[in-house]
């Protein structure tokens, strides 16, 4: 890791300089077996990335502040100047995710600030949001939801990870919750992010919208019993209801042109030779509009309930987080796309902290090309040249906004 005392040149947007900074964080939290990243919020690798953030700030003589919600901010001048422009993203990953989703926006933010004149740089805050993926505590964009008041601090404090550790315990304090005193100083937010579909065939694009999406927990209940002795006709096996619901999810999504996935499941007691008493599965559903999303979730729920009736099992559905459609500031998106030479403006099905912020302040996103479109996987990738083009674009955008 680069030491805090190393002097820094104020011009770093070349592919080589991107590569150098990227190389500093690339090993952090990487699982050698899968090649993917395990960077859950407030675990050792994510804390190491936070140390790296502080070291980068120190190299640049920037001041680091936090908002009491786990979000970090770095400032070239006084913290939270009037008409602050925030830029950054998140360090945390999904389990065995790619290295670009999140950290690319933070590395690019530091490199872009390096290229701004001092007075412009003084208006920019580099931000690292906490728990964007919801990979540890279940609710995505938790840091930005807290900062903007979209989630109550009491609810966030009670969220628990798989080991039973509470969010407040991981944070080291009860979260502060909404910070209108800070948010009121923000004039604009720009998040640079790797593109996550197969939708961008030039190095950089601008976001138009985020599909409405959410997470619903399905609890399927039945009777634990012996796998060898319980007659097939006598079973109340929630695994069957779950399995049917997984298939129904896929079918309903295809029928409605939406995206829906059941990719996470826990089973109790999770024994080879015992019929389970509880199967808990999470539905991740996304659609281009809210009506389609609502109809999809309703259809999946109905299919699960009908099937539970036939299986003699129970099913309970709990929404854990639902994010409305985001339409990014269209005038800002067009202005930025035009200023960048007429780059594409495109929607995404992926959630982002910028989406949460967009409900409160003018917000834009820049996407960097992803040659295969693969994301949330070790195969996620962007070329150094495209990432450097992203830094150029971000520096240019920040220059126009400050
Ligand atoms: C975050 O990346 C999400 O879209 O789930
Ligand atoms: Mn992600
Ligand atoms: Mn992300």
The answer on 236 and 192 residing in a single domain is no
| Paired residues of 85 in beta bridges | 124, 188
The answer on 126 and 37 residing in a single domain is yes
Is 147 part of a structural domain of the chain? yes
Query: Where is the domain boundary, 279, 300, 323?
Result: 323
- Predicted confidence at residue 16, as pLDDT, reads 60
Supply the pTM of this predicted model: 0.95
Q: Range of 222's domain?
A: 213-323
Q: What value, to the nearest 5°, has the Cα angle with vertex 331 and ends 328 and 333?
A: 55
Phi, psi of 384 (to 5 degrees): -60, -40
The answer on 356 and 242 residing in a single domain is no
Is 228 part of a structural domain of the chain? yes
The answer on 147 and 220 residing in a single domain is no
The answer on 392 and 349 residing in a single domain is yes
Is 1 part of a structural domain of the chain? no
Query: Where is the domain boundary, 305, 323, 341?
Result: 323
- Ligand 1 center to 95 CA (angstroms): 12
- Ligand 3 center to 131 CA (angstroms): 10
Ligand 1 nearest-atom number relative to CA 349: 4
Q: What value, to the nearest 5°, has the Cα angle with vertex 37 and ends 31 and 41?
A: 125
Ligand 1 nearest-atom number relative to CA 196: 2
- Predicted confidence at residue 103, as pLDDT, reads 98
Query: Where is the domain boundary, 323, 345, 371?
Result: 323
Tens digits of residue pLDDT in 310-323: 999 999 999 999 99
Tens digits of residue pLDDT in 110-123: 999 999 999 999 99
Per-residue confidence at 327, pLDDT binned at 50, 70, 90? very high
User: 3-class DSSP state for residue 161?
Assistant: coil
Q: What is the Rg, in whole angstroms, of the alpha carbon atoms belonging to the chain?
A: 22
Total structural domains within the chain? 2
The answer on 127 and 231 residing in a single domain is no
Per-residue confidence at 14, pLDDT binned at 50, 70, 90? low
- What percent of the chain lies above the pLDDT cut of 70? 96
């Amino acid at each position: 890791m680069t030491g805090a005392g190393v002097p820094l040149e104020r011009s770093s947007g070349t592919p080589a300089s991107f590569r150098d900074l990227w190389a500093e964080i690339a090993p952090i939290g990487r699982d050698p077996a899968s090649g993917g990243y395990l960077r859950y919020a407030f675990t050792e690798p994510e804390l190491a990335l936070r140390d790296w953030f502080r070291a980068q700030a120190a190299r640049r003589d920037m001041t680091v502040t936090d908002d009491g919600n786990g979000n970090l901010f770095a400032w070239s001048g006084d913290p939270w100047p009037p008409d602050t422009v925030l830029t950054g993203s998140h360090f945390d990953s999904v389990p065995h995710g790619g290295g670009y989703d999140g950290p690319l926006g933070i590395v690019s933010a530091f490199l872009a600030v390096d290229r701004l004149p001092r007075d412009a740089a003084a208006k920019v805050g580099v931000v690292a949001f906490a728990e964007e993926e919801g990979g540890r505590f279940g609710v995505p964009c938790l840091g930005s939801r807290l900062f903007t008041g979209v989630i109550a601090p009491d609810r966030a404090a009670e969220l628990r990870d798989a080991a039973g550790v509470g969010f407040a315990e991981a944070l080291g304090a009860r979260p502060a919750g909404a910070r209108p005193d800070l948010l009121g100083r923000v004039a604009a937010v720009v998040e640079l992010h790797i593109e996550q579909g197969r939708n961008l065939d030039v190095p950089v694009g601008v976001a138009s919208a985020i599909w409405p999406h959410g997470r619903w927990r399905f609890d399927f209940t039945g009777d634990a019993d012996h796998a060898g002795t319980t007659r097939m006709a006598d079973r109340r096996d929630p695994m069957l209801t779950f399995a049917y619901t997984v298939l129904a999810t896929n079918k309903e999504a295809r029928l409605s042109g939406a995206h829906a996935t059941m990719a996470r499941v826990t089973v109790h007691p999770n024994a080879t030779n015992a019929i389970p008493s509880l199967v808990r599965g999470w539905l991740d559903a996304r659609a281009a509009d809210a009506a389609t999303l609502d109809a999809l979730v309703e259809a999946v729920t109905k299919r699960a309930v009908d099937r539970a009736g036939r299986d003699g099992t129970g099913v309970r559905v709990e929404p854990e987080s639902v994010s409305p459609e985001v339409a990014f500031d269209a005038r800002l998106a067009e202005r930025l796309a035009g200023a960048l030479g007429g780059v594409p403006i495109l929607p995404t099905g992926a959630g982002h902290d910028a989406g949460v912020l967009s409900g409160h302040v003018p917000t834009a996103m820049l996407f960097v090309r992803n040659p295969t479109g693969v994301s949330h996987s070790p195969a996620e990738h962007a070329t150094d040249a495209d990432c450097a083009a992203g830094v150029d674009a971000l520096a240019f955008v920040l220059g126009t906004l400050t």
